[in-house]
A and B are shown apart, each in its own frame.
Chain A
Amino acid sequence: MEHQSHIVTGKKFRFPGGKIISYTVFILWVAITVLPLIWMAYSSFKSNEELNLDTFALPYALFDNANDEFIVIGSIEGYDTAKRQPIYNPPSLINVVPDYNVEADPRPRLIIESATIGWSRRLMVYFLPKEELSPEIANLKPLDSVWVNQLPGHIQGQINWLTIWYNYNQAYIRANLGLKFLNSVLYSVVSSVLIVLFGLMMGFALSKLKFKRLAGAIAATVGFGYLLSTNSIIIPLYLMLSFIGLTDSHFGVIIVYVAFGMPVSTMLSTQFIRGLPDSLIESAYIDGASTMRTFVQIIFPMSMPVATTILILNILGIWNEFLLVLVVAGSEATKSLPVGVYSFSGLTSTQLGWQLAAMVMAILPPMIFYFIFNKRIAQGVVGGAIKG
């Protein structure tokens, strides 16, 4: 086989211009794939004004921040323990939320806001301890200007860094992407592991235990589910889950994923385990092992190839699944990454930079995963699809 294919591919290809067309097609295809992703990646470092000004220009404003102008909007003079709130000067500062615990650290601080990014909208606000500032700056009054290069070195460094990652920082905090990432991991990993486990158990029972008729009936019932997806029965599913109080809970989402993973998982593992030699099981019986022991110690380790395929297929599918979580997860606490990014993009429609940053953060982990396990994933996806 190896030898023959070598001969064929070694033959000269005889279709005129075939090479040129092939290269053109593939290079164009890769360009259409990669260029939008690259555009998204570098645009996520642009400020909103830049994005509106020139769509294709490279990011500049957020990187060129050494001479940015900041405007003093007031100061925190301490902490009022009686009223349990910071003492502001002027007292009525609106929309200023300290990003640190004022009670634990009541040092007087100067509040400055960037004049370049969303001025007066309190989008980029810093609380600088007065004792670290030079006296002239510490005594500035509201509406006075201060430039970044006038500030002490370590504060400059901090502001430079935070300005470059401005979009990412805002998106991560505002969309609570950390929690949503964990939710996505929880959904995909827990569901997939259960799918593999239950699938292998089913596969073993249906292929190696001698209840042919029952096994056939169960296989047919479960096989029917291959035609369906959560999308087709989302309405009764939603009503049922809300009736038993499982909407907006991690458990409810996971059991749905596991149930919908069963058809493919059962089919793949039944086929695989049926292919394992019976003699293995018989010899285990002769050695006195029980059925359960045979499953755990012999079948399970030998099924690792098919288990990996099922695992990859399901992790991929569940990570990208959208509608179920969109409908079932009502609160922020149970939303997955795609739903989180989607609703974030709806809520902040004017802040394109933040949206792009959120999208990059959502797309990066699977991309890294993809390029590390490239070959294995491709085989898994193709194998799963064909056998289904």
Chain B
Amino acid sequence: MKRRKLNVRGLLIFLLMVWPGLFLYLFIVTYPILYSGWLSLTDFNPVKKTTVDAVAFSPDGRYLASGSADNTVRIWDPASGRTIHTLLGKNLAVNALGFSPDGKLLASAGEDKSIILWNPSKGEFIAELTGGHTSKVLGLAFSHDGTVLASAGDDTTIALWDISKKALITNFGEHLKPVHCVAFSPDGHLVASAGQEKTILIWELQTLKVVKTLEAHRLTVNSLAFSPDGKLLVSGSSDETAIIWDLERGSVLKTIEGHEGYIKGVAFSPDGQKVLTASDDNENIDNTVKIWEVASGKLLKTLSGHASGIHSLAISNDGHTIATASTDKTVKLWDLNTGSLLFDLTGHGSINFMGLTHYFTMFNDPDFWHSFRNAMIVVFVSVFGQIPIGFMLAYILYRKLVRADHFFQSFVFLPNFLSTVVIGLLWKKLFETDGPVARLVQFLTGNPQAQFEMMFSKDLCMIPIGFVLIWMYTGFYMMIFLANMQKLDASIIEAAQIDGASEVQIFLRVIVPVLAGSVLVCVILAIAGSLKGFDLIFAMTSRGITRRNAMVLPIYMYTTAFDDYRNPLRFNFGAAIANVIVVISAIFIVISNFIGKKLGTHEERE
């Protein structure tokens, strides 16, 4: 009994002594490793939001697509309410969606400025359209023959894309403020666009000239839709009204009032008899869809059920189903005739398991192989440069071949002690095209035009970097070897000398084998250090060409995760790179340990 009591008290003291260090270690070191592994297998991104901002039916009604700020597009089966595909990894916060009239293409766009084309039935990526916008894309529309895609941008322009060539046709616009929506007339002759400027512009597609200007809204126009016969246009605005326009006369036919929130979605029913409007209300009073009769302007039905604002509205071509996308993270499907809720589609914002996708992407990325090659050069320079040279220098000091050994030793070791970044910046200055090293070359060769251009060459940039690496770290290994040599029993050397061994023989046959253990330790240190080395090369290069040339794995990881803001999966991809770095260094360490054991050395740990 007494013994047991003592143990409990002892255990408490044990835990008391251990907990601060252990807790911090588990919390800061162990947990992120698991987190990193998990990140690299999913699309989890802690900064993304999960509002659903766009929704579209495929023309045949077989698919419903919804786009969300969670960087994904989901394709649903409207008949069963199940997710068919989750399209991810290309878009950043999807704002707009559009199906081509034949239903074979789905376009999605958002904050990343580019437009992605997908195959909706297979859920596959087809192409990325870039270069049309300088800011986020807010609206998309296919022309009714499917040859042209129009996109409305935050940069106040409208871009037209040739779908068969997957290329930009033109980028035009007379809007002065961001354009929020764009629509094609059913006959394909007209384009309507509107946005923060409040006026709606009607363009002729052939000439890109404004043929009509519709003014009546008091605030941003969020959504536009042509009637099926092309004679009417409906527009929904943040001024809480929707207006039905007579396009022939260019005048207001009816103003629809009754919503108490921003009207973010409008649509005509396929028979042209009804108009649907959806509202987004900050105060959550009016998050409804209202159905109106076009002829009389009478309110027919109100569909309520969303917990927060509706950002997009779509109606199927058969006229039976309405889909609404909301900031409450859901998409809801409604029956137009009865007004009843058919399905509540939830799934946006959930974390998608992506398997080894990130790793495959990485292995297909030429940047990865370039940084891998550079990393191998750094490992090679460390193992076959720093360590042998350090060993020789240590031997010279050990045998007292030079006087003032302490002076030399301090200066060779000095770079280790200086801030790596400052050393890197200093060498960057020295290695500038017209910098001190170039001047020195000019002076030595007598050629006043000589410039130092190695940093700009993809193949040669590792030469100056390797030089600095040797200069910087050799002193460290020299100190380790020297410390171990000084522990040696000097009588071994004495005995060899008496036997008539030459200095070279003593070095190769006596000193090297005895110190093989410390060499192995140094090799392991060098490999681990080289693979995670970041600061020196980062500081020696500047963003752009030199850094791309001299990119090593940690810089590849850093630029992926912290510089590439357009990549929705940047943290996941970066985590995958980090894991690969750890695995590569573990493999190298195991191999060098194995070779060391084969060669009969044993680690000397003293």
Report A's interface with B, CB cutoff 8 A.
1, 4-5, 7-9, 11, 13-15, 18-19, 22-23, 25-26, 29-30, 32-34, 36-37, 39-40, 55-56, 198-199, 201-202, 204-206, 209-211, 214, 218, 221-222, 225, 227-229, 231-237, 239-240, 242-243, 255-256, 258-260, 262-263, 265-266, 291-292, 295, 316, 319-320, 322-323, 327, 337-339, 341-342, 345-346, 352, 355-356, 359, 362-363, 366-367, 370-371, 374, 377-379, 381-383, 385-387
B456 within 8 A of A: no
Nearest-CB distance from A270 to chain B (Å)? 11
Residues of A within 8 A of B22 (CB): 202, 218, 221-222, 262
In the complex, whether B4 has a CB less than 8 A from a CB of chain A is no
Asked whether A386 lies within 8 Å of B518 as measured between CB atoms, the reply is yes
| Cross-chain contact B574 with A235 (CB below 8 angstroms) | yes
Q: Which of B78-86, B176-184, B366-374, B392-400 contacts A (4 or more CB under 8 A)?
A: B392-400
Q: How far is the CA of A338 from the CA of B426 in the complex (A)?
A: 12
Q: Known contacts being A22-B401, A233-B33, A233-B578, is A323 close to B558, with CB within 8 Å?
A: yes
Contact assessment for A323 and B503 in the assembled complex, using a CB-CB cutoff below 8 Å: no
In the complex, the answer to whether B425 meets A202 with C-beta atoms within 8 Å is no
A168 CB, min distance to chain B CBs, angstroms: 15
Expressed in whole angstroms, the Cα–Cα distance for A259 and B392 within the complex equals: 36
| Nearest B residue (CB) for A237 | B32
* Contact call A386/B480, Cβ cutoff below 8 A: yes
Inter-subunit contact A362/B491 (CB<8 Å): no
Residues of A within 8 A of B14 (CB): 205, 209, 211, 214
The reply to whether B396 and A22 contact each other, CB–CB distance below 8 Å, is: yes
Chain A to chain B: the 4 pairs with minimum beta-carbon distance, closest first: A259-B28, A198-B21, A205-B17, A15-B503
Specify which of A204, A256, A366, A378 is in contact with B413 (CB 8 Å cutoff).
A378
Least CB distance, A7 to chain B, in whole angstroms? 6
For the complex, is B247 an interface residue (Cβ under 8 Å from A)? Answer: no
CB of B419 within 8 A of CB of A22, answer no
Q: B50-79, CB under 8 A of A: which get 1 and which 0?
A: 000000000000000000000000000000
Which one of B31, B400, B425, B426 has the greatest number of beta carbons of chain A within 10 Å? B425
Smallest CB separation, A365 vs chain B (Å): 10
Instruction: Determine the chain A residues whose CB is within 8 A of the CB of B410 once the complex forms.
Output: 370-371, 374, 378
Least Cβ–Cβ distance between B233 and chain A, in angstroms: 46
By the criterion CB–CB under 8 Å, are B534 and A231 in contact? Answer: yes
| C-alpha spacing A385/B481, complex, angstroms | 11
B513 in the interface (beta carbon within 8 A): no
B28 contacts across to A, CB distance below 8 A: 237, 255-256, 258-260
Residues of A within 8 A of B479 (CB): 378, 381-382
Interface string of B415-435 (1 = CB under 8 A from A): 111111110011101100001
How far does the Cβ of B48 sit from chain A's closest Cβ, in whole Å? Answer: 12
Query: In this assembly, does B494 line the interface, its C-beta being within 8 Å of a C-beta of chain A?
Result: yes
Residue of B39, B396, B430 touching A236 (CB-CB under 8 A):
B39
Q: Name the B residues within 8 Å of A295 (CB-CB).
A: 17
* CB-CB under 8 A for A202 and B18, given A322-B535, A362-B419: yes
Interfacial chain A residues near B88, Cβ < 8 Å? none
Q: In the complex the two chains form, is A23's CB within 8 Å of B402's CB? A: yes
Which residue from chain B places its CB closest to the CB of A7 in the assembled complex? B494
Contacts of B439 in A (CB 8 A): 55-56
Complex interface bits, B555-593 against A, C-beta within 8 A gives 1, otherwise 0: 001100110000000010011001001100110010000
CB-contact partner of A342 in B25, B425, B436, under 8 A: B425
Contact-size category for B? 35 or more
Of all chain B residues, the one with the shortest Cβ separation from A9 is B400
Say how far B432's CB is from chain A's closest CB, in angstroms. Answer: 9
- Given the known inter-chain contacts A202-B17, A386-B483, please indicate yes or no for A236 contacting B36, CB distance below 8 A: yes
Flag if A9 contacts B399 (CB, 8 Å): yes
Contacts of A214 in B (CB 8 A): 14
Q: Does B360 contact A (CB under 8 A)?
A: no
Q: Name the residue on A nearest B439 (C-beta).
A: A55
User: B31: nearest residue on chain A (CB-CB)?
Assistant: A240
Evaluate contact between A363 and B413: CB separation under 8 angstroms.
Answer: no
Whether the pair B21, A201 counts as a contact (CB closer than 8 A) is: yes
B436, B521, B606: which contacts A39 (Cβ < 8 A)?
A: B436
What is the chain B residue whose CB lies nearest that of A378?
B479
Which of A11, A218, A322, A370 meets B497, CB within 8 Å?
A: A11
Task: Say yes or no: is B528 at the interface (Cβ < 8 Å to chain A).
Answer: yes
Contact indicator B46/A243 (Cβ below 8 Å): yes
Q: Can you name the residue of chain B whose Cβ is closest to the Cβ of A365?
A: B419
CB distance from B10 to the nearest CB of A (A): 7
Cα–Cα, bound, A29→B606 (Å): 30
Q: Could you give, for residues 458-492 of chain B, a 1 whenever the CB lies within 8 Å of some chain A CB and a 0 otherwise? A: 00000000000001000010011001100001110
**With A13-B401, A19-B402, A323-B535: A381-B13 Cβ-Cβ less than 8 Å:** no
With A231-B534, A239-B35, A263-B25 in contact, is A209–B10 under 8 Å at CB?
A: yes
CB neighbours of B574 from chain A (8 A): 235
A210 near B10: Cβ-Cβ < 8 Å: yes
A29-B582 Cα distance, complex, nearest whole Å: 33
Asked whether, in the complex, the Cβ of A26 is within 8 Å of the Cβ of B33, the reply is no
CA distance A292 to B538 in the complex (A): 46
User: Is residue B504 contacting chain A, with contact meaning CB distance below 8 A?
Assistant: yes
Question: 8 Å CB contacts to A: which residues of B18-48?
Answer: 18, 20-22, 24-33, 35-36, 39, 46
